[in-house]
């Protein structure tokens, strides 16, 4: 395996430099050191050294074929007279970061002979960047130029980001950022654990007799959050029930959850109420009927793939036929905004298999479709057992991404949200497509970080957005379900302290 070693004698932009190098060398082993001795002790086919000299950031590189150094001249943050120091330190840092990433990207293109679709952007929210530029008064053409020239994003991805940013602006125009917030409710149980899963999800079978205890804790947290947010004069805009798989709950348990939400928050004035039904093997007519008793506006039925052999490999333990049935059942019950999630880049799937999935999806005609590029995170069993899947191809390429986009357009959908993940195959992105009035507002809110999102349940990570989105604090709940149940008062107290301090 090709080995890379990076020595950080200056760590200011360690994360960005590391991520950009890794984006160019996704299959390589990368070692990081902080002293020369540490780096000397590890081997590396390609070695980098990052250091600062005066106001220059230098990156030395050294391999058998090439060696040299690139540099970026940093702007100064300090003025001798504090009153004359006119630049915001965040702005200065951002400019310096952009400079070193620009130089490093050019070097990596030279070393590898290839470019990346998202240029030197390593963050997960390219549309947020485009949105920020447009909101600052730039025209679309100016924002596009900036993305292409400063961040070296391909013309195609630039167009995608700008299109999405504009659609998001239109969808969010009625959302009250200042006084509103959204609520995420986590149900961390699944019928079985998918091979690629990196969420904290628990197999229902082992937890069945403790689900009610989980709901006890969850309801307590819901009630507490409602009191806290009312005291702050905040109005609830959207609710998203996700997981895990919310429809692992039995109808009576769903009722208990919905009643608690209704009693605590009321459903009047909600801009959106989503239940991610998720796994088709958890969806029944009774559960859908229970959901229909409440003003749920949007649900998800997630196939991921419509190829049975892949479903078997990735451990989803449901059939393609079950997906079709669950979808049609939901339609019969009157759900008029159904999303379907797909994953491209699954083990063994080539373009013809993706074509088959898309053909099946078209027949079902959902209202929105979210296309994920497979991201293998460390925790996923797919990664742990990767030797077992070594002979399989994990294929994702622009042709596949184009095909998903073309199919979405043919179904009358356009892109409305976008995010990238670490370890994403081929450095692509996840894109949500929706028909004109069927976009998932919560999905945009979480990506654009415009308003607080309070997350309840095990593993919930609340984002306390303040200062018009400039600052974000997080309050985390414990991931472990049993810890969550037994330490619920502590979770509530954490939230109370965070909300008190930041909202
Ligand atoms: S359905 Fe989703 S949350 Fe549940 S195991 Fe599969 S990937 Fe994880």
Arithmetic mean of pLDDT over the chain = 91
Residue 459 in contact with ligand 1 by CB distance below 6 A: no
Q: Decide if 48 is inside a domain.
A: no
C-beta of residue 345 within 8 angstroms of C-beta of residue 161: no
Burial class (CB in 10 A: 0-12, 13-18, 19+), 93: middle
Q: Which atom of ligand 1 is nearest to the CA of 244?
A: 3
Ligand 1 centroid from CA 458, angstroms: 15
Q: Is 193 in the pocket of ligand 1 (CB under 6 A)?
A: yes
Residue range 146-164: mean pLDDT, rounded: 95
Q: Kindly give the number of the ligand 1 atom that is closest to the alpha carbon of 193.
A: 5
Q: Is any ligand 1 atom within 6 A of the Cβ of residue 279?
A: yes
CA of 192 to the centre of ligand 1 (A): 8
Q: Give distance in angstroms: CA of 131 to centre of ligand 1.
A: 31
The pLDDT of residue 379: 44
CA of 243 to the centre of ligand 1 (A): 8
With vertex at residue 428, the alpha carbon angle to CA 439 and CA 420, rounded to the nearest 5 degrees, is: 55
Token digits of residue 74 = 């940093």
pLDDT of residue 84: 47
366 Cβ inside 6 Å of ligand 1: no
| Whole-number pLDDT of residue 375 | 61
> Could you tell me if residue 313 is inside a domain?
yes
Average pLDDT over residues 476-501: 97
Residue 215 lies in a domain: yes
pLDDT (tens digit per residue) in 271-329: 999 999 989 999 999 999 999 999 999 999 999 999 999 998 888 889 999 999 999 99
Gap from CA of 262 to ligand 1 centroid (Å): 27
Domain of 354, in residue numbers = 174-497
pLDDT band at 423 (very low <50, low <70, confident <90, very high): low
Tell how far the Cα of 181 is from the centroid of ligand 1, in angstroms: 26
Q: What is the value of pTM for the model shown?
A: 0.89
| Closest approach atom of ligand 1 to CA 243 | 3
Angle between helices 285-292 and 251-265 (to 10 degrees): 10
Task: Tell me which residue has its CA closest to atom 3 in ligand 1.
Answer: 244
Look at ligand 1, atom 6, and give the residue with the nearest C-alpha: 194
Task: Identify the CATH number of the domain in which residue 372 sits.
Answer: 3.80.30.20
Share of the chain above pLDDT 90, in %: 76
Number of domains composing the chain: 1
Q: How confident is the model at residue 475 (pLDDT cuts 50, 70, 90)?
A: very high
Is the CB of residue 190 below 6 angstroms from any atom belonging to ligand 1? yes
Going by pLDDT thresholds of 50, 70 and 90, the confidence category of residue 436 is: very high
For residue 485, is it within any domain? yes
Q: Which two tokens stand for residue 339?
A: 């999303």
From 200, 203, 205, 279, give the residue whose CB has the most ligand 1 atoms within 8 Å, as the site to mutate.
Answer: 279
Within a domain: residue 33?
A: no
Mean pLDDT across 192-216: 90
Largest CA distance in the chain: 71
Per-residue model confidence (pLDDT) at position 249: 97
Q: What is the pLDDT of residue 304?
A: 95
Binding site membership of 201 for ligand 1 (Cβ less than 6 Å): yes
Asked if residue 391 has pLDDT above 60, the reply is no
* Cα(278) to centroid(ligand 1), Å: 8
Burial class (CB in 10 A: 0-12, 13-18, 19+), 48: buried
The rounded percent of the chain whose pLDDT value lies above 70 is 93
Of 254, 190, 198, 260, the residue nearest 225 (C-alpha):
260
CB 275 near ligand 1, within 6 Å: no
Q: How far is the CA of 194 from the centre of ligand 1 (A)?
A: 5
Centre of ligand 1 from the C-alpha of residue 38, in Å: 39
315-350 residues labelled b (16+ CB within 10 A) or e (exposed): ebebebebbbebbebbbeeebebbbbbbbbbbbbbe
- For residue 109, with 0-12 CB atoms within 10 Å meaning exposed, 13-18 middle and 19 or more buried, which class applies? middle
Cα 241 to ligand 1 centroid, rounded to whole Å: 14
Q: Is the pLDDT of residue 79 over 80?
A: no
Burial per residue of 149-184, b for 16 or more beta-carbon CB atoms within 10 angstroms, e otherwise: eebbbbeebbbbbbbbbbbbeebbeebebeebbbbb
* Contact call for residues 244 and 188 (beta carbons, < 8 A): yes
Atom of ligand 1 lying closest to residue 279 CA: 1
Closest ligand 1 atom to 278 CA: 1
Whether residue 436 is contained in a domain is answered as yes
Edge-first strand order for the sheet with 298-301 is: 414-419, 430-434, 368-373, 338-344, 298-301, 272-278, 235-243, 180-187, 453-456, 461-466, 471-476
Domain assignment present for residue 61? The answer is no
* 380 Cβ below 6 A of ligand 1: no
The model's confidence at residue 378, banded by pLDDT at 50, 70 and 90, is very low
pLDDT at 162: 96
Choose the residue to mutate in 189, 190, 382 for probing ligand 1, maximizing ligand atoms within 8 Å of C-beta: 190
120 CA → ligand 1 middle, Å: 31
Residue nearest to atom 8 of ligand 1 (CA): 197
CA of 393 to the centre of ligand 1 (A): 22
Q: How confident is the model at residue 146 (pLDDT cuts 50, 70, 90)?
A: very high
Best of 184, 187, 192, 194 for a ligand 1 pocket test (most atoms within 8 Å of beta carbon): 194
Tally of helices (H runs) and strands (E runs) in the chain: 18, 18
> Could you tell me if residue 380 is inside a domain?
yes
């Amino acid at each position: 395996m090709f080995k890379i070693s990076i020595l950080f004698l200056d760590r200011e932009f360690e994360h960005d430099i590391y991520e950009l190098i890794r984006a160019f060398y996704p299959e390589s082993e990368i070692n990081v050191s902080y002293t020369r001795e540490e780096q000397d002790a590890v081997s590396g086919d390609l070695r980098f050294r990052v250091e600062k000299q005066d106001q220059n950031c230098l990156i030395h590189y050294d391999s058998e074929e090439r060696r040299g150094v690139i540099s970026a001249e940093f702007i100064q943050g300090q003025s001798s007279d504090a009153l004359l120091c006119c630049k915001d330190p965040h702005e200065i840092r951002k400019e310096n970061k952009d400079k070193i990433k620009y130089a490093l990207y050019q070097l990596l293109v030279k070393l590898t002979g290839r470019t990346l679709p998202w240029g030197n952007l390593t963050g997960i929210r390219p549309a947020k960047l485009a949105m920020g530029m447009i909101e600052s008064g730039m025209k679309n053409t100016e924002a596009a130029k900036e993305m292409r020239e400063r961040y070296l994003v391909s013309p195609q991805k630039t167009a995608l980001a700008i299109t999405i940013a504009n659609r998001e602006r239109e969808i969010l125009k009625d959302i009250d950022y200042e006084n509103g917030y959204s609520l995420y409710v986590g149900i961390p149980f699944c019928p079985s654990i998918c091979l690629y899963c990196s969420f904290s999800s628990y197999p229902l079978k082992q937890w069945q007799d403790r689900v009610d205890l989980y709901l006890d804790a969850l309801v307590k947290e819901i009630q507490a959050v409602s009191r806290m947010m009312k005291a702050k004069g905040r109005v609830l805009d959207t609710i998203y029930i996700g997981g895990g798989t919310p429809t692992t709950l039995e109808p009576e348990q769903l009722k208990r959850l919905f009643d608690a939400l209704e009693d605590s928050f009321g459903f009047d004035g909600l801009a959106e109420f989503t239940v991610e039904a998720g796994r088709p093997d958890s969806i029944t007519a009774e559960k859908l009927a229970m959901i229909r008793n409440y003003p749920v506006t949007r649900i998800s039925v997630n196939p991921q793939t419509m190829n049975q052999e892949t479903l078997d490999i990735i451990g989803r333990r449901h059939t393609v036929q079950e997906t079709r049935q669950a979808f049609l059942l939901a339609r019969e019950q009157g759900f008029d905004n159904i999303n379907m999630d797909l994953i491209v880049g699954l083990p063994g799937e080539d373009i013809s298999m993706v074509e088959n999935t898309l053909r099946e999806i078209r027949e079902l005609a959902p209202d929105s479709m979210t296309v994920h590029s497979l991201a293998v995170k460390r925790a996923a069993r797919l990664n742990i057992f990767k030797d077992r899947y070594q002979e399989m191809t994990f294929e994702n390429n622009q042709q596949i991404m184009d095909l998903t986009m073309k199919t979405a357009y043919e179904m009358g959908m356009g892109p409305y949200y976008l995010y990238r993940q670490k370890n994403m195959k081929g450095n692509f992105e996840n894109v949500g497509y929706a028909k004109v009035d069927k976009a998932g507002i919560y999905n945009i809110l979480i990506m654009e970080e415009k308003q607080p999102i309070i997350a309840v349940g095990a593993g919930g990570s609340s984002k306390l957005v303040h200062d018009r989105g400039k600052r974000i604090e997080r309050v985390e709940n414990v991931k472990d379900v049993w810890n969550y149940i037994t330490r619920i008062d502590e979770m509530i107290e954490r939230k109370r302290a965070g909300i008190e301090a930041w909202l």
